[in-house]
Amino acid sequence: MTQTREVAGPAAARTSARTWGFTGLAALAPATWGTTYLVTTEYLPPGVPLGAGVIRALPAGLLLLLISRTLPRGEWWWRSAVLGALNIGALFALLFVAAYRLPGGVAGTLSAVQPLLVAGIAFGLLGVRPTRWQLGWGVAGVLGVGLIVLRGQISFDPIGVLAGLGGAASMAAGLVLTKRWGRPPGAGTLAFTSWQLTAGGLLLAPVALAVEGPPPIPDAAALGGYAWLALVATALAHSLWFQGLGRLPVTAVSFLTLLSPAVATALGWLVLDQSLSPIQSVGFVLALTSIVAAQLTPDAARSLIRGGSDRRISGGGRR
């Protein structure tokens, strides 16, 4: 039995390390998404949220499609269209509407309800019953993000609020369906991502033209902003996101989206010279704690805390 434990221990450690590795890579996606509010308000032309969504999604999707050289087959044509509409088309449109009509903090707080929405939809479609641990940290995450970003004089534009909530619901449904359907054999992460980005961009393009008309000619700052959003915050970020979603529990992954409003606020402090209050510091710690805690089970969290306490006691004894 000792030998079995010795073999299982390193194997379990390697599995845990891989899991945290995929979690870290997936976390880079919402971290880059958090730059959307700053880029939109500071660099992009005003009044074209739908067009901004198309410019962000379609070039990124076509680029990844050119790299992967893989097209959907059979039922994956309509599945890609559905996932592209939920994860990309509707999400980007609603996200940019919220970014244009709301302060970044308000939009970020609305998006923080996504883990709770994912928990409910996953129960209905996947039969995954949310635990009190997950629900509790979901509420804590919303509270933490609220403490971070809701400050001063706040303007609640009703269309912006509906867009923010709609974007969170769209992405929550897309996450759960992506987890339920998985990925077809022979399709890599880049191909799977390219299908959704291309489908979402193509579905959104005629709506943007009908509502907003042709987008204005961008200046150098806007070109840089669009390039960042399309290449880094979309092509790269979504590839990492869908890779993580395929290997990690959907509820745990959904908590990583709390990084987006946290990064948006941090950029406000760093770039726009905004100050950090004590309450915001508490909110930051609470939001980050909820993200980490959601990746653990209650037993694992207790073991981690006990391990840290044991190390402190042992270190104190040596000193």
Closest among 106, 100, 101 to 151, alpha carbons compared:
106
d(CA 240, CA 26): 5
* Residue 4 banded pLDDT, cuts 50, 70, 90: very low
d(CA 177, CA 188): 18
Query: For residues 274 and 233, which has the higher predicted lDDT (pLDDT)?
Result: 233
Query: Which pLDDT score is estimated for 246?
Result: 85
Query: Which pLDDT score is estimated for 135?
Result: 74
Query: For residues 156 and 248, which has the higher predicted lDDT (pLDDT)?
Result: 248
Identity at 222, one-letter amino acid code: A
What φ, ψ does residue 26 adopt, rounded to 5°? -65, -35
Q: Which residues make Cβ contacts (< 8 Å) with residue 300, sequence separation at least 6?
A: none
Q: Mean pLDDT lowest for which of 8-22, 202-216, 279-293, 301-315?
A: 301-315
Residue 13: count of CB within 10 angstroms of its CB = 10
List the chain domain ranges: 27-310
- pTM of the entire structure? 0.76
pLDDT at 310 over 60: no
- Both tokens assigned to 196: 């959704």
Query: Which pLDDT score is estimated for 6?
Result: 43
* Residue 317 banded pLDDT, cuts 50, 70, 90: very low
- pLDDT tens for 265-303 read 777 777 766 555 677 677 767 776 776 676 666 665 556
User: What CA–CA distances, in Å, run from 212 to 49, 99, 205, 207, 272?
Assistant: 9, 16, 10, 8, 29
Query: Which pLDDT score is estimated for 256?
Result: 84
- pLDDT tens for 103-152 read 655 666 666 677 777 877 877 777 777 777 767 777 777 777 677 666 54
